[in-house]
Amino acid sequence: MGYVDLHLHTTASDGVLSPSELVRYAKAKGLQSVAITDHDTIEGCEEGLSEGERIGVEVIPGIEISAEHSPGSMHILGFFLDIHHPFLNERLKYLQRARAERNPKMVEKLRRLGVDITFEEVVKASGGGQVGRPHFANVLLEKKHVRSFQEAFDRFLKKGAPAYVDKFRFTSKEALHFINEAKGVGVVAHPNTLGMNGYWELEKLVLRLVEEGLQGIEVYYPEHSAADVAKYKTLAERHGLLVTGGTDYHGMEKNGLDIGVGRGEMKLPYSIVENLKTVRSRSLSGR
């Protein structure tokens, strides 16, 4: 039994590799199963699935939804989605429209700040996929308005910075609802970004999410310390939740994290996928 990586981005959102390139790369790295989890979109799944079938890699159609949350940020992963499900597609279209309304406003803000940038340039930088702030950052860098990708966020694009425009987010309840409706399994991503103060606060939040349909926790993640991993594992065990893991690979050149292994420390067994499948079929037969 091989290894798996259940958190990956493609050019459908802000990843560097196209879905087929990603799946071929996974194969070359010896992975048996991978989940495509682009931000707010399933546009990369179909291509990834057919490439996976062709070359013999299991591809799990997934997503990563940004949900309304404070003080930190909450991302919810959905695995084994029925990507043709009408309700899922309608909800995602709604998100795309919200994003499409926000992006020109950010261009406008940048222009008012004296930055020479056009919406066309940002669209071009997105390579035809969903347009997001990382693409703004790439244009700012390319046109030498900033000296690094991070500077673009710090000076202009991060939350609270002068060119930032908030975008609509679903609540966790809404996100888990459409993931579950589309036969998917909902998992809270990288809990270390939730900004919860201590174990009890985190547990309280997780229990609320379970009420809303959550079925797992992303325990293994490159930014989690050994203590984080132990904490999230305990939390999952106590509440009968699935344990998942992934690298959040966007392209090595972005942050030095590689598919399947992160910084070299990750090795996720196929049993993670088997457990996901078991829980999914149990919930589907209970509907």
Residues that bind Zn ion (CB under 5 A): 14
Instruction: Examine residue 248 and tell whether it contacts Fe ion (CB under 5 A).
Output: yes
| Cβ at position 153, least distance to ligand AMP in Å | 4
The crossing angle, in degrees rounded to 10, of helices 198-211 and 172-181 is 50
| Cβ at position 59, least distance to Zn ion in Å | 19
When the beta carbons of 15 and 48 are compared against ligand AMP, the nearer one is: 15
| Cβ at position 282, least distance to ligand AMP in Å | 32
When the beta carbons of 63 and 241 are compared against ligand AMP, the nearer one is: 63
When the beta carbons of 16 and 196 are compared against ligand AMP, the nearer one is: 16
Q: Using CA atoms, how far apart are residues 122 and 199, in angstroms rounded to an integer? A: 41
When the beta carbons of 7 and 224 are compared against ligand AMP, the nearer one is: 7
Instruction: Examine residue 218 and tell whether it contacts ligand AMP (CB under 6 A).
Output: no
| Cβ at position 180, least distance to ligand AMP in Å | 23
Which residues, 115 to 134, sit near ligand AMP by CB under 6 A?
Answer: 132-134
From 153, 170, 178, 220, residue interacting with ligand AMP (rule: CB under 6 A) = 153
CA distances from 237 to 219, 234, 240 (A): 11, 5, 5
Q: Using CA atoms, how far apart are residues 169 and 250, in angstroms rounded to an integer? A: 22
| Residue 2-31 contact track with ligand AMP, rule CB under 6 A, x = bound | ------------x-----------------
Closest-CB residue for Fe ion?
Answer: 75
When the beta carbons of 34 and 241 are compared against Zn ion, the nearer one is: 34
Q: Using CA atoms, how far apart are residues 15 and 46, in angstroms rounded to an integer? A: 16
Instruction: Examine residue 5 and tell whether it contacts Fe ion (CB under 5 A).
Output: no
From 42, 57, 63, 75, residue interacting with Fe ion (rule: CB under 5 A) = 75
Which residues, 28 to 87, sit near ligand AMP by CB under 6 A?
Answer: 39
Number of residues forming the site for ligand AMP (CB under 6 A) = 8
When the beta carbons of 132 and 186 are compared against ligand AMP, the nearer one is: 132
Q: How far apart are the first and last CA of the chain?
A: 31
Residue where the block lists tokens 């244009």:
139
When the beta carbons of 32 and 103 are compared against Zn ion, the nearer one is: 103
| Edge-to-edge strand list for the sheet holding 268-269 | 58-61, 31-36, 3-8, 268-269
The residues binding Fe ion (CB under 5 A) are 64, 75, 189, 248
The residues binding ligand AMP (CB under 6 A) are 14, 39, 132-134, 150, 153, 158
